[in-house]
Amino acid sequence: MSLALIDYGAGNLHSVHNALKAAGATDAVIAADADAVARADRIVLPGVGAFGACAAALRAVPGMIEALEQRVRIEGAPFLGICVGMQLMAETGEEHGVHQGLGWMQGTVALLEPADPAAKVPHMGWNDVTAPLPHALIEPGEAYFLHSYAYRGRDVIATTDHAGAVTAAIGRDNMLGVQFHPEKSQRYGLALLERFLAWRP
């Protein structure tokens, strides 16, 4: 069973790749072209940086958006978005202007605005993940976060607290996105990746 880790110049690929291998993904390949994604049984979209730049970089790969739509939305391949990879699942992102996302989740990505001015932005470090709704992949625990923008909208399946509730994970059907970094979240992150590798949505 193959796993495609998408390389579009906007993710910390090697640390995510190493974490996937540590979780048991012996068949994980770094995929820089649409054909590799179209053939994959599972797909992981990492992302580090600004929403607009990441969205543009993903769209710049010939056929990538079409391959993702076909494989994930139509054929139902399990999908995991990480950090900005999760944010790109939204309709829009508001970092340095309004930018179009993949539109898979009904929501937008906006600047974090903690209720307490003492809560710093970016939100950086370890924080609890709370899952009010049961999901096959998300369990309560502690994960590593690093972000200044957060998802607001539907299909939120886990939150964290940063002077107010902040989206930690979104999900529907065969699609999951996490704001935290599994590859930096030690045992909690590896356990999540293990569950993703075994997931049969």
Backbone Cα Rg of the chain: 15
181 is catalytic: yes
Q: Please report how the helices 13-22 and 186-198 are oriented relative to each other, as an axis angle in degrees rounded to 10.
A: 70
d(CA 81, CA 136): 16
d(CA 90, CA 120): 24
Whether the Cβ atoms of residue 65 and residue 73 lie closer than 8 Å to each other: no
d(CA 118, CA 52): 28
Q: Which residue in 17, 99, 123, 181 is the catalytic one? A: 181
83 is catalytic: yes
Amino acid present at 38: A
Residue 81: the pLDDT is 98
d(CA 61, CA 64): 6
Q: Which residue in 17, 54, 83, 99 is the catalytic one? A: 83
Amino acid present at 119: A
Triad 46, 52, 53: Cα angle to 5°: 65
Domain range enclosing 161? 3-198
pTM for the structure as a whole: 0.97
Domain count of the fold of the chain: 1
Q: What is the pLDDT of residues 116-167, one digit of tens each?
A: 888 999 999 999 999 988 899 999 999 999 999 999 999 999 999 999 999 9
Q: For position 53, which CATH number holds?
A: 3.40.50.880
d(CA 150, CA 176): 15
DSSP percent split of the chain into helix, strand, coil, nearest 5: 30, 35, 40
Q: What is the pLDDT of residues 47-70, one digit of tens each?
A: 999 999 999 999 999 999 999 999
Query: Hey, what are 187's tokens?
Result: 């045992």
Confidence of residue 17 (pLDDT cuts 50, 70, 90): very high
Q: What is the pLDDT of residues 72-105, one digit of tens each?
A: 999 999 999 999 999 999 999 999 999 999 999 9
Q: What is the pLDDT of residues 23-32, one digit of tens each?
A: 999 999 999 9
Mean pLDDT of the region 163-181 = 97
